[in-house]
Structure 1
Amino acid sequence: MRSIEQTGQSPITRADVGFRSARGPLLISLMLSIGLVAIDSTVIATAVPSVVASLGGFHQFPWLFSVYLLAQAVTVPIYGKLADLFGRKPMMLLGIGFFLVGSILCGFAWSMVALIIFRAVQGLGAGAIQPMSMTIVGDVYTTAERGKVQGYLASVWAISSVVGPTLGGVFSQFVDWRWIFFINIPLCLLAGVMLMRHLHEDVVRRKPVLDYRGAVLLTTGVTLLILGLLEGGEAWPWVSPAGIGVPAAGLALLVVFVFVERRAAEPVVPLWVFRRRILLTSSLVSAGVGIVLIGLTSYVPTYVQGVLGTGPLVAGFALATFTLGWPLAASLSGRAYMRFGFRTTAIIGSSVAITGCLLTAFLGTRTPVWVVGAVCFVVGLGMGWTAAPTLIAAQTTVGWSERGVVTAGNMFSRSVGSAVGVALFGAIANFVLPDLAAASSRVFLSVAVVAILMGAAVVAMPRTPVAAQQ
């Protein structure tokens, strides 16, 4: 096979692409890997009382969530670049390895500080697994098939949003909270073995010049920026030396990063990513998706319980409709964009999402729970028809040697959007607390505004040719 630089095509062998029997176990491996990441994002939520009772450090437990998401977000662009240099398989296995080691260490944690550090190790693994899974899908499956496959992967997140908290509660109550991490050991090993056996890459080995300075600047800058957004108003006031200085320092380092990347031989994030209109707009859409996602998943349960007066189970049902609509729409999006094009499909999807988000702004103190669930389902349908086509459109404009960077950039934008959403909606809700009805109403109105801006980014997307085979 000729080098990737000569062909720009995927180094996956024809047998892997052509036969479903060869791709089935690989898809199962990807779904299992994403399931690990998705479940561990929420599994510890219901186990917090048991963890605190065992380790102490109640005031530190929010870091169990923040450090995991932070480590995941800041490493995504680096993994994307390394995947384009060395292949998807090594990066995916490295991510699974980090996640496995982190899970074992979390299970043996002797203090809250140790558990927080080990959660960061898990996050380093999660930072590779999600973008590599999406990139491998772009390598192995045709353009027509990717929407359906993304629906499968999205369904894993939907199932995990329910299974994660349930598992955390079951293990904490009937076994021991440490088993929420030990259960990952056989699952990581199974996913790794299946990936090694069923993903075959013919990558040309070479000695690239690694951009260490860029990697350090990017990681440090993004860490400070996201940390400032996540902890502002919580760990420190917004108007304080830390509240202003931490994100400002992050932005300054990112400015320096841009200048360094202009001269780097193998930049971590090539600047052409920001000059191509399709890539820029798809990243803006992804950021909007992240903001809307964190807004609904954080405040719909609060609204249903605190305002409508229901229990956690009913609140979970209301939100579950959102996570059901998303994979359903994503799995059907392939037929739509193959017929109408990526841009038209995404415009339809964003219109549905905007409609659903606007409806959330009219939810009141006497709204039936089933209406909340129906509105969330509509938003989920819209998001599924927006997120999948825009990502796939970006992937189809580049060859194998650039697809990792492009996919990771899209995933990174969603992570940054989620961090922005946490800060934005937290500030809005805290402004009118303890009036939960007013807080929820303002958050939902803000979600609708973000959805409208996301729709504007979709409209700004250029028309991208749809090819049946990449």
Structure 2
Amino acid sequence: MENLEHKQKVTIMIAIMAAMLFAALNQTIIGTALPVIVADIGGMSYFNWVFTIYMLASSITAILVGKLSDTYGRKPFILTGIGIFILASLLCGMSVNIFQLIIFRAVQGLGGGMIISTSFTAIGDLFPPRERGRWQGMMGSVFGLASVFGPTLGGYIVDTWQWNWVFWVFLPFGAAAYAMIWKMFPKVSQNEKKSVDFLGAIVLTLSIVPLLLAFSWAGQNYAWNSFVIIGLFIWSAMTLTLFIFIERNAENPVIPLHLFKNSIFSISNMSGLLMGMGMFGAIMYMPFFIQGVLGISATSTGFIMMSMMLSMVLTSTIGGQLITKTGRYKRFAILGLLIMAAGMYLMSLMTIETTVTSVVRNLILVGLGLGLTFPVLTLTVQNAVDHRYLGVSTSASQFFRQAGGTMGVSIMGAIMNLIMGREMKGLRENPGSELQDPQVLMDPNQINALRESTSEVSSAQFDTIISSMREVLSLALSGSFPFGTFILIGAWILILFLKEIPLRLSNHPAQGSNKEKLSS
């Protein structure tokens, strides 16, 4: 597809980015809308599954479709993914109970995984490595924009229309993207058709799903040392061992194990895993600090969090352009991870006295670093492997980053809960102990309602209890952010060992160019 005219390539990329925006917005928009949805269809006890099932389905699909698209081409899978996502979005909006919504979200995750995996891989089909930087950066900007506007749009829609439109409002974007890709995305014929490694795919699924469930549930639904969590980890380890055995003997393995012998592939993916742990930790737990510790409303919190995503969009776009212009990329990852770690370290120093200006500064630092790093780690993997492994290598990169996010959020949450439980013991010996649930701090209206309904403590005592809980929550969050700092420093150290090989000017390298070479 390198031989296509530049105008046609740009048009195809616009269609791909429209599909990505369609999928990303549907993922980020639901967060602010879910409380209203649950209030209408019920199922408060199961609402976490609305997120968990999507993550599981998209992770599995992305890793499997990467290999299949290497064999059968990208076009069938990106079209199938968009079609499934459109149908699932329509059905999600028609859900009458939480169980239907969970099922349709699982279907939506299948489509989303196909879209994400094939979209990033399609960049590699359309452009040689030297030109991919700018497009990888723009794809990162799509994620950033979805994270900026999705939650705000979700809140606006449920306040203005019925919640169903959260799933339906972007359907025209999906239909337009489908039509454009159907018409303009060329069908690439594959010379070799090998048998599909169904056994490996099944065993890989049986390994990944329990692992992600363990990290999703640990510290929330079950204790880390519970039979369920330990059992999930043991099962995942056993099936992973079996998967490795199967792949060594498979004719056409789902994940060719020899790729991990390539140090660039391994270091990039491990760095992506660690970056995901730090990135998603900041995204998930900073709103707790802004709302719970500083007492700022959810709406204002969304605007404050925008500073992180907008700075990410800025550096992701600029960094991608500079990579394409200079042909160098390692320096951007080194600088980006260092800036991210600095922002996370400053987050660990935050207290109840921290100002909004300081919070915004910290978020901007994390966003700037994330934007510089985001385009690099996928590009390095694509540039280091033979083009016939483009799909599987790209999907592996996406999977490691998402898996890292799942692990990071769980581990930081466990640290936060441990510190909070220890600090709350002393408070619960005081009057008004029934008030001392830190979750109350997330909703100013609930605090006011409790103030009016509580008679056993004076107004001054009530304020003291609330202030003490804010301090406890601040200590707990500040104690969890150092974990993110150390993780990002670990990713930075790994990147120092990354071999920087020249970005190829063609998808068909000369003989021997697929080997690792140090740049001059």
Measured against the shorter chain, the TM-score band is over 0.9
C-alpha separation in 2, matches of 1:225 and 1:135: 25
- Give 1:162 deviation, angstroms: 2.9
Confirm or deny: 8 A CA contact 1:100 1:184 kept in the other structure: no
Deviation, 1:285, is 1.2
Counterpart residue number, 2:171? 185
1:266-415 to structure 2, matched below 5 A, reads 266-334=252-320, 336-337=322-323, 339=326, 341-415=328-402
Which of 161, 186, 206 matches 1:200?
186
Alignment of 1:225-236 (within 5 A): 225-236=211-222
Amino acid at match of 1:54: D
* Counterpart in the other structure of 2:503: 466
1:25 to 2, 5, 11: 11
* 2:475 paired residue number: 438
Partner residue in 1 for 2:485: 448
2:228 is matched with which residue: 239, 242, 252? 242
CA displacement, residues 57-93 of structure 1 (integer Å, 9 cap, x when unaligned): 1101111011111111122110100110101111111
Label 1:236 to 1:101 Cα distance change in 2 as closer, same or farther (>3 A): same
Distance 2:271 2:311 in 1: 18
The one-letter code of the counterpart of 1:240 is: S
- On the 8 A contact 1:77/1:408 being kept in 2, the answer is yes
SS at match of 2:30: coil
Amino acid at match of 2:29: V
The residue identity in structure 1 corresponding to 2:145 is I
Match of 2:89 among 103, 108, 111: 103
1:468–1:333 distance in 2 versus 1, CA, 3 Å: farther
CA distance in structure 2 between the partners assigned to 1:469 and 1:381 by the alignment: 30
- In the TM superposition, residue 316 of structure 1 has moved relative to its aligned partner by 2.1
Measured in 2, the distance between the counterparts of 1:445 and 1:13 equals 45
Aligned partners of 1:352 and 1:48: how far apart in 2?
Answer: 33
Taking the aligned partners of 2:334 and 2:40, their CA distance within structure 1 comes to 50
Q: What count of residue pairs does the alignment treat as equivalent?
A: 456
Q: 1:318 & 1:59 partners in 2: Cα distance?
A: 29
8 Å CA contact 2:136–2:379 kept in 1: the answer is: no
Map 1:48-67; keep pairs closer than 5 Å.
48-67=34-53
- The answer as to 2:458 corresponding to 1:421 is no
Instruction: Give 2:31's aligned residue.
Output: 45
SS at match of 1:14: coil
**CA offsets per residue over residues 169-192 of structure 1, 9 Å max, x none?**
233232211121222432221111
Is the Cα–Cα contact under 8 Å of residues 72 and 125 in structure 1 kept in the other structure? yes
Tell me the alpha carbon deviations over residues 309-366 of structure 1, each in whole angstroms, 9 at most, x when there is no partner: 2222332233212212222222222454453732233222222222222222222222
- What stretches of structure 2 of length at least 5 have no aligned partner? 421-437, 439-471, 508-520
Give the equivalent residue in structure 2 for 1:5.
none
Structure index of larger Rg: 2
Unaligned segments of structure 1, at least 5 residues: 1-11
Structure 1 position 132 matched with structure 2 position 118: yes
Distance in 2 of aligned mates of 1:14 and 1:269: 29
Contact map agreement 1:144 1:334 (CA 8 A) in 2: no
Question: How far apart are the structure 2 equivalents of 1:195 and 1:288?
Answer: 34
Displacement, 1:281? Answer: 0.5
Deviation at residue 54 of structure 1 after TM alignment? 2.4
Which is further off, 441-450 or 146-155? 146-155
Looking at structure 1, the residues matched to 49 and 403 of structure 2 have their Cα atoms a distance apart, in angstroms, of 17
Equivalent residue, structure 1, for 2:3: 14
1:8 match: none
Seen in structure 2, the aligned counterparts of structure 1 residues 88 and 33 have a Cα distance that, compared at 3 Å, is same
1:9 maps to: none
Q: Secondary structure at the match of 2:162?
A: coil
Query: 132-141 or 170-179, which moves further after superposition?
Result: 170-179
> What residue identity is the alignment partner of 2:488?
A
- Is residue 2:200 matched to residue 1:214? yes
Distance 1:443 1:273 in 2: 34
Structure 1 stretch displaced more, 244-253 or 48-57: 48-57
Report the CA distance between 1:469 and its aligned residue: 4.1
Query: Deviation digits for residues 261-294 of structure 1, max 9, x if unmatched?
Result: 0000000011012111000011011111211111
Report if the CA contact (8 A) 1:76-1:412 is conserved.
yes
Separation of aligned partners in 2, 1:419 and 1:200: 35
Sequence identity percentage: 33
Pairing of 1:69-108 with structure 2 (within 5 A): 69-108=55-94
Does the 8 A contact of 2:282 with 2:344 survive in 1?
Answer: no
For the residue of structure 2 that corresponds to 1:145, the secondary structure is helix
Cα 1:340–1:97 change in 2 (3 A) is closer
TM-score, normalised via structure 2 length: 0.84
CA RMSD of aligned residues (A): 1.8
